[in-house]
Structures are given as structure tokens and as C-alpha cells.
Amino acid sequence: MAFFPTPPANLKLADGTTLAYHRSPGARPGVLFLGGFTSDMTGVKAATLERWCRGRGQAFVRFDYSGHGASSGRFADGTIGRWAEEASAVLDHLTEGPQILVGSSMGAWMMLLTALARPERIAGLLGLACAADFTRYLLWDRLDDRLRERLRRERVISLPSPYGEPYIIAMNLVEEAEQHQLLDRPELPIHGPVRLIHGMGDLDVPWRISVEVAAKLASPDVRVILIKDGEHTLSREQDLLLLTRTLGELLEGR
């Protein structure tokens, strides 16, 4: 029998944006997956988590930010604040009760911002290759003077990406992100259990970002898990096994 993927449902926001999502019913706490910059909800980590949660009867939601995947909007119009508001909207409208947020790369920044905005809804956090504040050290700081001037002038430029489609970099993204920087703050008032997994071979986001985030969290229940030969995507079989095992420990309160 041929397998046909189920089309996503859509959440319509007040501004007319539609966010595509997949939701599986199940036990609480639920699991909400937050993807990375230019990624969508069809990636291997999101799919692995969905299968794993279905297998144990755990509620699960994955979605696309505006300008990503099957959601509406132009990628170049996206900002950190807008995508964080969308993550909170998904939490508000598509989940019930306590949730464990799993954030990958930029999604881990979204995860932290969502936990700060909705502390009463958060049962735990699990970050992968946490890219908090990445608009500084991955985008702006890596541009030479010529590209910075071009970005200021043109407002939107494209750069090569090792992951396929070129990165579309908007000046508005870089500027607006300054309102949501976390590493400048003396403390992040997040009090539940947090696990941060990072590859020491990550060529995009330094593993020390996860250590820096961990040091700023108010919670005493924080662990940083370093994978010596792990790279940025953390999509190998052994990485996915570590992901689901760590999530299982969070769900079981260990």
C-alpha cells in the first residue's frame, strides 16, 4: 500500500498569517518542537520526535514559522520577535497543560524566549545546538565591511549555505533581533529542568554558547551534554538516540 503523508493543518493568526502544523494527541506533558533558521517541520529531528512520542502516547506538535516550509509569508519579512510570537501562539492555541519545548539551533533561542513569555506552561526545555543571539555572531559578525554595506543599502541579501538553499539575510532581522538578545542579560529567570545538547565539532554555533546559556539560567537543574564528534545538525542515528533518551528522562522527571 502506498504511503501518502498527511497534509498539515493550519493555524490562522490575527494578522492573517497561517502557520502549518502537525499535532498528535496524547499524554501530558506534551512536546512542542521548534525548528531552526530556514528549516521546516519535515526534518529528521522533528519526524523522529513525532514517531517517538506517538509510540509512547505522548502529545506532540511540530510547526513551521512564517516564511518557512508550508506556512504563509515571505522569509525575508521574518524577525526573531515575530517568530517568537508565533511560537507562543502555537503553545497557546495548539497545546494544553504543561509542555516540554525542544528547540533546534535558532529553535533553542525561540524555546528560551517562549519559556520567558509563558513560564507557567513550561515543564522543561531541551535545546540542540543552541543558537541564542546567533544574528550577531553567525550573521553580522561574519560579514566583511563590503557585505555589511551592501546589506545596509539593499536591506536583503543572499549568502551561500552549506545546507542547500542560500541564506536570505534581511537587515530588519539583524536590527530587530537586538531587542531579544539573551547573552547580554545577567540572568535568565527560567526555573524548570533544562538540557542542552551540543556538538563540539559544530562549525556554525560554538558549543560554548550552550555553556554560557546554562550559566545564566536561574534553574539549578541544568545539564549541558557535549558530543565530542557531534556537528551542528545532530542528525546521526546516535545523536537522535541521545535526543529521545534525554527527552524521555525529562518526561520521567529524571
Nearest alpha-carbon partner for 15 in 67, 86, 69: 86
Q: Tell me if residue 88 is catalytic.
A: no
Task: Tell me the three cell numbers of residue 236.
Answer: 546521526
> Which of the residues 105, 180, 204, 239 is marked catalytic?
105
- DSSP 8-state assignment for residue 188: B
> Which of the residues 22, 68, 180, 232 is marked catalytic?
232
DSSP 9-67: EEEEPTTS-EEEEEEE--EEEEEEEE--TT--TTSHHHHHHHHHHHHTTEEEEEE--TT
> Which of the residues 64, 202, 204, 239 is marked catalytic?
202
Neighbours of 235 (CB within 10 A): 16
Nearest alpha-carbon partner for 178 in 65, 80, 111: 80
Q: Tell me if residue 191 is catalytic.
A: no
Q: Tell me if residue 202 is catalytic.
A: yes
Q: State the catalytic residues.
A: 105, 202, 232
